């Protein structure tokens, strides 16, 4: 069982690493958000793995995962909304050019 848990955690860590690399290396807003999605997915994998192998009888872990997934969906909607608005007004979603949003 411990072996299975560490396999799941390794997959999570791999996802996290890929997501982190994506978020840091890309300049396109859409690509950065995809990286962040991957990081969040890694966290969810870890969460599910811990629930499944350490406390399978407590349902609140499962509930927590479902809520985090909902929040992810909402966050993506907002993020892509901003990206579309930016693209419409400026014709680009390069983050290096978006410094003026700092005000």
State yes or no: residue 98 binds another protein (CB under 8 A): yes
Q: Which stretch binds another protein (CB under 8 A): 3-11, 18-26, 41-49, 59-67?
A: 18-26
State yes or no: residue 95 binds another protein (CB under 8 A): yes
At 26, is the secondary structure helix, strand, or coil?
Answer: coil
State yes or no: residue 73 binds another protein (CB under 8 A): no
**Closest to 48 in 3D by CA, of 37, 39, 59:** 59
Q: Which stretch binds another protein (CB under 8 A): 5-13, 41-49, 64-72, 94-102?
A: 94-102
**Closest to 23 in 3D by CA, of 90, 70, 79:** 79
């Amino acid at each position: 069982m411990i072996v299975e848990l560490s396999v799941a955690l390794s997959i999570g860590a791999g996802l996290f690493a890929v997501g982190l690399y994506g978020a840091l290396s890309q300049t396109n807003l859409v690509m950065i958000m995809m990286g962040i999605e991957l990081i969040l997915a890694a966290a969810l994998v870890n969460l599910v793995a811990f629930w499944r192998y350490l406390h399978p009888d407590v349902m609140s872990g499962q509930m927590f995962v479902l809520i985090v997934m909902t929040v992810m969906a909402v966050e993506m909607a907002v993020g892509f909304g901003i990206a579309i608005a930016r693209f419409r007004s400026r014709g680009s979603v390069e983050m290096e050019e978006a410094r003026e949003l700092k005000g």
